[in-house]
Amino acid sequence: MIQLTEESRSGWCVVGVRGRADAEAADELEAALRSALQSGSKVAADFAALDYISSAGLRAVIQAARAAQASEVEFVICSLTLPVKKVFDMSGLHQILQIRESLPC
């Protein structure tokens, strides 16, 4: 189960992600992030309430990050919880994606 919100703050479009980003939720997550990229603002994915991410969830994030890079939109992932941070660290994606400890806005 995943819950997604979107709000504008100081030139950023913040996508709040709560719950579990697994195979069931991955497409929904990717669609929300891609939709935010269309806003014309910089995009921050707020993972402060994301409890779990699987490989399918990571795929959704990578896809969104690639789309952001292709359209030259700044895309950052923020406020990782400990279990989610562990997955990003183990997969090495923290070296490839822009990850911040807190929201930029």
Q: Which stretch binds other proteins (CB under 8 A): 6-14, 31-39, 41-49, 65-73?
A: 65-73
Asked if residue 93 binds other proteins (CB under 8 A), the reply is yes
Contact pick of 53, 73, 78, 99 for other proteins (by CB under 8 A): 53
DSSP 8-state symbol, 75: E
Chain positions 26 to 45 lying near other proteins, rule: CB under 8 A, are: 26
Is 81 among the residues that bind other proteins (CB under 8 A)?
Answer: no
- Residue 94: phi and psi, rounded to 5, are -65, -20
Those residues with Cβ within 8 angstroms of residue 21's Cβ, 6 or more apart along the chain or in another chain: 2, 29, 50, 52, 53, 54, 56, 57, 60, 61
Nearest-5° Cα angle at 87, 81 to 89: 95
Residues that bind other proteins (CB under 8 A): 22-24, 26, 52-56, 58-59, 62-63, 65-66, 69, 86-87, 90-93, 95-97
